[in-house]
Amino acid sequence: MQNIADIRTVHIELTDKCQAQCPMCARNYHGGVIRPFIRNGDMSLEQFKEWFPRDFLAQLDNFYSCGNYGDPAFANDCLEIYSYVRECNPTVRLAIHTNGGMRNPQWWRKLAQYDIEVIFAVDGFKGKHELYRKNTKFDKVIENLKAYCDAGGHARVDSLVFAHNEHEVDELEDYLLGLGVQSVNFVSTTRFYEMKEFEVQDNNGNVEYMLKPAQTEKFKRTPNKSLNALTNEIVRNAAIDAIIIEPKCVTEQGIYVDPYGNIFPCCWFGGDYLEQPIEEKLPIHYLRNLSVENTKQVLKEVGVPNCQDGVLDSTITLFKGLSEFWQGKNKCLTCARQCSKLVYNDNNKYSLE
């Protein structure tokens, strides 16, 4: 399906380490206990150079990090790896999505030297920001963001909108643009689905507070199909049969690589590869378990290559047979969920523009 010579986009997860405990992140349970499959490892510069040949890096148009489970800026060799990619490919788009709450201003000023687009997460002003970005500090994020901008770095902001911060988006945008940010993208999270609130837990499983979705019309995200209805197999199969899957791994000519060198068609497959069944309290939990099981079955068919086997220094074709799961009765539920309008009209985690 994906010939090595045709790959133009690499989405790389340099680490699964992160200091934040964002409640809706798959890294933890509701902002509390860390999931058991998290290994807290990262990709070293030496590994990267061994796994990613210079010729391969030179063919890329887009190289970015937007972690499933970790923050790229937390990787020990993040700066060195991005510097190396820029050395190999002077024109490739480089990007990092980060909470921005780690490192010091000097590190961020150094990063600005390599023409990297950094997308910081700022979810409101001090006191509001920390409600979702648990274990980050607004002042620290702003200090690092300002250091990056002042050093000539190209910075954008993705800001998640909730009930507790939707009233201050205009003021926040003006403030961030005044710091040198190029643009502010207010993101309506899809992770509430049909829930009216989402509980945030501490490390002992106690509920600390609740998050609520934005109520302003332009920030509301309502699923196209009732999730409760989709738990019915007949309804679900009919809905999947009716949609058209437009795989982003094809349109972007991309792959996703995790910190341990595993290669997947996309980050969603990479996440499902590690996921375990969760307790089914809500329709989304049931559908999530189905999706994970389905992805694992697909991966058994198409394989999970690893960079340490020299895959990217070859002429092989990755994921043979994957296209069979985009049509007919074999449609992959994860592909349908993320690359069609089955649940939402737009399922992009973040904009690539």
The residues, ordered by sequence, that sit 6+ positions from 229 with a Cβ below 8 Å of its Cβ are: 235
Write down the pLDDT at residue 350: 35
Q: Is 335 helix (H, G, I), strand (E, B) or coil?
A: helix
Distances, alpha carbon 347 to alpha carbons 13, 190, 214, 227, 340, in Å:
19, 8, 18, 15, 8
Local mean pLDDT, 10-residue blocks, the chain (353 residues) = 94 97 96 96 98 98 97 98 98 98 98 98 98 98 98 98 97 98 94 91 97 92 86 94 95 97 97 91 90 96 97 95 93 94 67 31
Is the separation of the CB atoms in 166 and 211 below 8 Å? no
Query: What is the pLDDT, as a whole number, of residue 353?
Result: 29
pTM across the whole model: 0.94
Backbone conformation region of residue 9, classed left if phi is above 0, alpha if psi is from -120 to 50, else beta: beta
What pLDDT score was predicted for residue 120?
A: 98
Residue 286: helix, strand or coil by DSSP?
helix
Give the pLDDT confidence score for residue 346 in this predicted structure: 64
- C-alpha span between 18 and 128 (Å, rounded): 20
pLDDT value of residue 225: 80
pLDDT at 188: 87
Tell me phi and psi for residue 22, to 5 degrees: -65, 130
Q: Cα-atom radius of gyration of the chain, to the nearest Å?
A: 20
- H-helix or E-strand containing 249? helix 248-251
Q: Where do we find the tokens 């990297």?
A: 116
**Domain 2-221+249-280, CATH class in plain words:** alpha beta
Nearest-angstrom CA–CA distance, 120 and 243: 34
Question: Cα separation of 303 and 319, whole Å?
Answer: 6
Q: What's the half-sphere exposure (Cβ side, CA atoms, 13 Å) at 79?
A: 11
Q: How much is the pLDDT for 352?
A: 30
